[in-house]
Structure 1
């Protein structure tokens, strides 16, 4: 009854706050949470866009221009989706979305890893690493011989995942496209 008046956004915020409190207090459970990867369902792409815009604004001070770019990426992906060469994974724990990643076609031989994110309270469980692994496996099966991605220097956890997965930094470019000074980075690897 206490939670009945709360909408879905308020319930998500409450879950996030409780998970943060649990984490700060040492956790109530010592078992690792179960995370499932699934295909997107109606509404998931909007949710992914929504959460990334909020997270990157809160964590890094990025402005609405990031949301505009993310919206463009999601829209183009959905408009030209080719299931033989492209894929989205939605990471779900306890019936809620905690992360996602896309593979899109950059060229006939090159796949692009895009939009990797993991919710703050779900980090540290290897979800990002597993999502990147799924991308690489799918890209190989789909006939790609190389994978590329673009990220920013402040996304240190993601950068560490990419480096451990064998990606190499091939280009950097200073920019302030999201309202703060950043260094955009292109990473690539053979598959």
Structure 2
């Protein structure tokens, strides 16, 4: 999901937009619920997508290494409106960007770009040499953000998930 899709952007000062660590009660629940609701509404995805996000959030909450993994919440005028996670990847020296989301009501404030930049900055500071992500081709606005941040498409594979036939994509970039 990204903030560059058409949405109900309003005029808001830069001071009203913040990116903060995901460290408050309710943050993880918000991530799970909002992903489920937004993706169901916008793409018709079923509850299995919300379950995937719940698994990612639970894995992070239970066992993340704060020196190597972090997550952030974007707030607009004090309300949660976006998120992203940076977690250790499957290979040494590789991080993974996970569950980027900007609530439709908050699109148009470059929050998706700011969240991705925050994730990349953290990954560099944590000593990662590469970062990867998995997405689906229907998420065109998110892909534009990833491409603008220097990610390149590594491979694609068709799959049936979340109640739909989809084209999954793996993207990566060096840090």
Please say whether Structure 1 and Structure 2 have the same fold, judged by a TM-score greater than 0.5. yes
Does 1 or 2 have the higher relative contact order (CA < 8 Å, sep 6+)?
A: 2
Give the unaligned 5+ runs of structure 2: 1-6
**Distance in 1, Cα, partners of 2:19 & 2:97:** 16
**Distance in 1, Cα, partners of 2:97 & 2:117:** 11
**Distance in 2, Cα, partners of 1:187 & 1:104:** 15
What is the TM-score with the length of structure 1 in the denominator?
Answer: 0.83
Runs of 4+ deviating beyond 2 Å: 30-34
Whose strand fraction is larger, Structure 1's or Structure 2's? 2
Q: Does 1:134 align with 2:126?
A: no
Give the unaligned 5+ runs of structure 1: 1-18
* Contact 1:32/1:125 (8 A) holds in 2: no
What is the TM-score with the length of structure 2 in the denominator?
Answer: 0.90
Shift in CA distance, 177/31, structure 1 to aligned 2, threshold 3 Å: closer
Paired residues in the alignment total 166
Q: Does 1:182 align with 2:155?
A: no
Map 1:71-110 onto structure 2 (within 5 A): 71-106=54-89, 107-110=91-94
Q: Tell me the C-alpha RMSD between the 2 structures.
A: 1.4
**Distance in 1, Cα, partners of 2:12 & 2:74:** 18
